[in-house]
Structure 1
Amino acid sequence: MDSQAISLVRSSFKSIVAEEGGPERLARTFYSLLFARSPETREFFPAAMDVQRDRLFTAIAYVVERLDETDEILEYLAQLGRDHRKYGVTDEHYQAVGNSMIEAFELFGGAEMWTDEVDSAWRNALAVISAAMMDAANAEDGPPAWSATVIETRTAIRGVAIVRLQLDQPMDYRPGQYVSVQVGARPRMWRYLSPANPPDGSGIIEFHIRQVTGGWVSPAMVTQTTVGDIWVIGSPIGGLGIPENTKDLLMIASGTGVAPLRAQILELIRRGNTRKVHLFYSGAHPCDLYDLPHLWALAERHPWLTIVPVSEDDTNPWWHTETEPLSPIGMPKRMTGKVGKVVTSFGNWAGCDIQVVGNESVVNSTKFRLRAVGIDAATVRSDPTY
């Protein structure tokens, strides 16, 4: 796409975002049109559409923001196309989605915003998006999804479970990526989780899952999962991972966001890494740093790895009565405060490859802090928040 078309797509999308209730209204309109025009597509989605509508808008925003980053966005779209094979999506469905999206934008924007130029720009953008996803899906000869059997489940802290599964066949994913997951208790309700371990040929995959208050799926994953349960897992997605350069790594994790960074550290150990790696591991309370003993053990054996624990509060909630583990001799002690502020108090980290993983608030505030000390935003990597 040329720069003018990209500019028109972005400006019209920003107009929708600026409208009160715009994202939700647009998503509702789109899905209403899609299900009316192609009723069979309703079977791809859960009965409750709230999460799906949010996810749609997040994905559109992510793509629109990166339309001029050709290689990166085409790879992301190819990953989405491979992942969508689990639904049984065909080329005709992509055409139906594109047509419904255009109609939804036109109805939402009205004649004043939706000019012929804007219409043409969006049609070109959606053609590129659809083509990238369809080409990748049609070229893939691997399974559309993996079946996985739960072989272990345990509680890390209240509201956080660690679940290990055995895949029915090995999955080739990059440490740092995430996958869509469906559990038997919540059919058609896919959730995105990051493996906490790198692939090693065994077919074993580990997830760290936090129960979201009021959530539809995570409570079932955390409290109802038992050994022998069958989960379905989609194709790997995401741009995080060990960079091909030799830069030192700055990793910043919040809560279960440590999982994809942990997987990369384990992979670096397997490769015999020598570059410096700093992991700032944060949570609201000290107990949220549930994987700290394991990370400390890794750091003790590998001098290139530094673990800095951070919590926003200095005390634990009333329900957590276990004693806080003592930091090993020579390891940084836990610091108190917002993780972005703590990270930048160590320096400006110029020249490092930087990854930030966690909830949207932590990711955004940390990026803001890094930019404030002169870090180029292009060097700070994070994936969409689902």
Structure 2
Amino acid sequence: MSVSDPHLLALLRAIRLRQSAPDAAAAGEADTAAALSEIARNQTARKKKEAQVAEQADAGTPPYFSKHRAAEEDTPRGGSAGLLWRGDPSAVMGRANLRNARSAIPPIGGITPSGPTTPVPPIPALEGVRPPEPPGTDFPPQLPPRSFPSRRPRTSGPVRRAAGRDGMDPADDAALRDIQRNLSTSITFAGGVEDVAERLWNALHQAQPALLSSLPGTAPTQRADLARALTWLVHHLADPPAVVSGCARLGAVLAECGLQWNRLQLVGAALAEATRAGMPPGSWRQDFDQAWRWAWQHTYEWIVHGGTLVAYQPTIWDVEVVSHEQRREDLAVIGLRSLLPMPFRPGQFARFEVPEIPGVWRPYSLAGAPHRDEYIELHVRAKSETGVSGTLVHHTRRGARLRMTRAEGDMGLPDSRGILMIAGDTGVAPMKAMLAELAARGDTRQTVLLWSVRDQTELYDIDALTELAARVPGATVIPVVAEEPSGPYMSGPITDAVTTYGDWSRYEIYLAGPPQMLAKTTAALLRLGVKPDQMHYDPPE
């Protein structure tokens, strides 16, 4: 049934009015008769127009104009082709009443009687009145009810989860434990982890000497690092998240050391060989060989992955406090050991964070020999018991853990020229690192350290500095005490000592200390003819 046909709508309206209002029967009959008469009249007019179109086609009139002319004639002269009832179905209103109420109810389409009317397109005529269809066919048939999967009823028992750890299959956990057992057993048969690490270091030193030379430390410290690494790997192999995290951090550290990844490709085979070489004849098994090669392949992948992250995030080292000496009430010398290789040049500094104040980093110069061992020394003076410095001096004890960033600073030992070091207060820490490096190298060049302090009690590290200078043939340590009594040491301001000890134009000069001391000393050196590019210091923060 077409709901856009005005004639059928008129019939439906008449039937609806007849059912809802008995006194509207006459109006319904009039509507019905009018609708039927319009249907018959339209059919006769349509047949007549079809005949005219055929005659015009035979006479040569274009069909386009004849079609639109016929459409114009189909449109009633008095207005639109029909009206829809928009009121209450129970109201009594026939065609005559609609004609009288035309000013009150506008036609459909938003056209107001007083405004301009938009032409209504022609409505095609009906071919004939269709008999009423059986009940129930006026609307589309109902769709079959949709079936949804039944929801599993809740049970009061606990939900069972997979037995594997971190989403792994239980069979994978069992395989990891088997590999872990083979690694541990093979190390035991090979004489222990220290013997395996020593043979591994010897093999790498012979096959890849550049690999070991890029890492800090001497041969004994590197062997100890390898032994700790093997122990850690065997203990954590059955815990994949720990292996991934640890290898990624190691990769970041190796990248900071400048290690090239292709030098690590032979480590797996060297591991298997270092283990096999320590076993009695006939005790080496194929599953031992496969376990070592498999373990190294996966370890190598995560090490390289961690190394690639250095370009996107800062590298952080965990360090352990191995000594804490309160040299003065407000000053402490703190010994640290890095848990992973820590590369730095003598004279550089790093930023440290204490657990008590997370997110706050403070710079401190690094005293120690980076190419000798993993020992790092901090000289910290605190004005109060709060803050990072106050925590390090007054509240940090042996065994505590700190975090540090990569080393920074442009200070470093020159290749061949003489060296003048000028330090004030705890600025002697980077100078101590350079002295230790000269002692480790056996360097014989002329080196002078001027250490400026306020009084003799501030010479908190004079014994260690004197011992280091004794191991460097051309080194001299000269304390300069500003206030009397100066005892056996030189007295007066540091600028007087700089001008007293001759010509420094052929020396590389390194300065560290309070900002006021740096400003006065650099000005004095410029007056002595020292060029600015000969002076090296890190800007104070």
TM-score after normalising by structure 2:
0.42
1:135-166 Cα offsets, whole Å, 9 max, x none, are x9966499710011111101122211011112
What is the match of residue 523 of structure 2? 368
Select 2:500's aligned residue among 329, 345, 350: 345
Alpha-carbon distance, 1:234 to partner: 0.3
> Measured at CA, do residues 202 and 350 of structure 1 come closer, stay the same or move farther in structure 2, by a change above 3 Å?
closer
1:156-206 Cα offsets, whole Å, 9 max, x none, are 222110111121101111111000000111111110011110214642211
- RMSD (Å), alpha carbons: 2.5
Say whether residues 1:358 and 2:492 are aligned partners.
no
What is the match of residue 171 of structure 2? none
What is the match of residue 212 of structure 1? 383
What is the match of residue 154 of structure 1? 325
Alpha-carbon distance in 1 for matches of 2:465, 2:388: 28
Say whether residues 1:255 and 2:425 are aligned partners.
yes
1:76-91 correspondence to structure 2 within 5 Å: none
Q: Partner of 1:384: helix, strand, or coil?
A: coil
> Measured at CA, do residues 202 and 157 of structure 1 come closer, stay the same or move farther in structure 2, by a change above 3 Å?
same
> Measured at CA, do residues 301 and 264 of structure 1 come closer, stay the same or move farther in structure 2, by a change above 3 Å?
closer
> Measured at CA, do residues 174 and 137 of structure 1 come closer, stay the same or move farther in structure 2, by a change above 3 Å?
farther
Say whether residues 1:280 and 2:450 are aligned partners.
yes
Whether the 8 Å contact between 2:321 and 2:397 is mirrored in structure 1 is yes
Alpha-carbon distance, 1:216 to partner: 2.3
Alpha-carbon distance in 2 for matches of 1:187, 1:141: 21
> Measured at CA, do residues 272 and 312 of structure 1 come closer, stay the same or move farther in structure 2, by a change above 3 Å?
same
What is the match of residue 403 of structure 2? 232
State the AA in 1 paired with 2:492. Answer: G
1:50-65 correspondence to structure 2 within 5 Å: none
Alpha-carbon distance in 1 for matches of 2:334, 2:310: 32
State the percentage of identical aligned residues: 30
Alpha-carbon distance in 1 for matches of 2:477, 2:397: 32
> Measured at CA, do residues 142 and 262 of structure 1 come closer, stay the same or move farther in structure 2, by a change above 3 Å?
farther
Alpha-carbon distance, 1:357 to partner: 0.6
1:28-52 Cα offsets, whole Å, 9 max, x none, are xxxxxxxxxxxxxxxxxxxxxxxxx
Alpha-carbon distance, 1:213 to partner: 4.5
What is the match of residue 36 of structure 1? none
Whether the 8 Å contact between 2:385 and 2:394 is mirrored in structure 1 is no
Alpha-carbon distance in 1 for matches of 2:386, 2:500: 36
- Larger relative contact order (Cα-Cα within 8 Å, sequence gap ≥ 6): 1
> Measured at CA, do residues 289 and 182 of structure 1 come closer, stay the same or move farther in structure 2, by a change above 3 Å?
same
Alpha-carbon distance in 2 for matches of 1:147, 1:334: 40
> Measured at CA, do residues 221 and 344 of structure 1 come closer, stay the same or move farther in structure 2, by a change above 3 Å?
same
Q: Partner of 2:411: helix, strand, or coil?
A: coil
Unaligned segments of structure 2, at least 5 residues: 1-251, 254-306
Structure 1 stretch 136-145 or stretch 284-293: which is displaced more? 136-145
1:264-304 Cα offsets, whole Å, 9 max, x none, are 11001111101100000111111112111122223334331
> Measured at CA, do residues 292 and 347 of structure 1 come closer, stay the same or move farther in structure 2, by a change above 3 Å?
same
Alpha-carbon distance in 2 for matches of 1:256, 1:137: 37
1:1-386 correspondence to structure 2 within 5 Å: 140=311, 144-200=315-371, 202-213=373-384, 216-244=387-415, 246-315=416-485, 333-386=488-541
State the AA in 1 paired with 2:429. Answer: A
Whether the 8 Å contact between 1:285 and 1:313 is mirrored in structure 2 is yes
Whether the 8 Å contact between 1:170 and 1:201 is mirrored in structure 2 is no
> Measured at CA, do residues 369 and 157 of structure 1 come closer, stay the same or move farther in structure 2, by a change above 3 Å?
same
Whether the 8 Å contact between 1:255 and 1:281 is mirrored in structure 2 is yes
> Measured at CA, do residues 215 and 334 of structure 1 come closer, stay the same or move farther in structure 2, by a change above 3 Å?
farther
Alpha-carbon distance, 1:372 to partner: 1.4
Alpha-carbon distance in 2 for matches of 1:385, 1:137: 32
Alpha-carbon distance in 1 for matches of 2:521, 2:494: 7
Unaligned segments of structure 1, at least 5 residues: 1-84, 87-135, 317-323, 325-332
State the AA in 2 paired with 1:206. Answer: E
Alpha-carbon distance in 2 for matches of 1:306, 1:140: 42
> Measured at CA, do residues 311 and 160 of structure 1 come closer, stay the same or move farther in structure 2, by a change above 3 Å?
same
Alpha-carbon distance in 2 for matches of 1:383, 1:336: 26
- Higher-Rg structure is 2
Whether the 8 Å contact between 1:354 and 1:380 is mirrored in structure 2 is yes
Whether the 8 Å contact between 1:312 and 1:338 is mirrored in structure 2 is yes
Alpha-carbon distance in 1 for matches of 2:407, 2:538: 13
Alpha-carbon distance, 1:211 to partner: 1.0
Whether the 8 Å contact between 1:295 and 1:307 is mirrored in structure 2 is yes
Structure 1 stretch 299-308 or stretch 257-266: which is displaced more? 299-308
Alpha-carbon distance in 1 for matches of 2:376, 2:469: 22
- Structure 1 or 2: more strand by fraction: 1
State the AA in 2 paired with 1:284. Answer: R
Count of residues in correspondence between the two structures = 237
Q: Partner of 1:309: helix, strand, or coil?
A: strand
State the AA in 2 paired with 1:302. Answer: V
Alpha-carbon distance in 2 for matches of 1:347, 1:215: 43
> Measured at CA, do residues 293 and 159 of structure 1 come closer, stay the same or move farther in structure 2, by a change above 3 Å?
same
State the AA in 2 paired with 1:272. Answer: G
1:213-271 Cα offsets, whole Å, 9 max, x none, are 48622111101011111100001100001112x11000001111011111011001111
